[in-house]
Amino acid sequence: MTDTQLYLAIGVPVLMNATMLLIAITSINHRITDLRNTMEARFTSFETRLEILTGKVAELTDRVTRIEERWERRP
């Protein structure tokens, strides 16, 4: 076996493994980015709904307060 054959026998599998590892890491990174974007969209939607709900609770509290004030002023 010549030196060139030895280098190819060792080097080609190492380079192929490194290439496959980089492809796998890139794929995983892309999936994590997609998941993060999806979660951010869901949290934004949840925050919007929570703000709407908080506003409705505040309106309801104001209504109850007005009703209580009317009730107290009744003769």
DSSP state of 45: H
Q: What is the pTM of this model?
A: 0.62
Listing DSSP states for 17-73 in one string gives HHHHHHHHHHHHHHHHHHHHHHHHHHHHHHHHHHHHHHHHHHHHHHHHHHHHHHHHH
Per-residue pLDDT tens digits for 3-45: 888 888 999 999 999 999 999 999 999 999 999 999 999 999 9
Per-residue pLDDT tens digits for 49-68: 999 999 999 999 999 999 99
pLDDT bucket at 73, cuts 50 / 70 / 90: confident
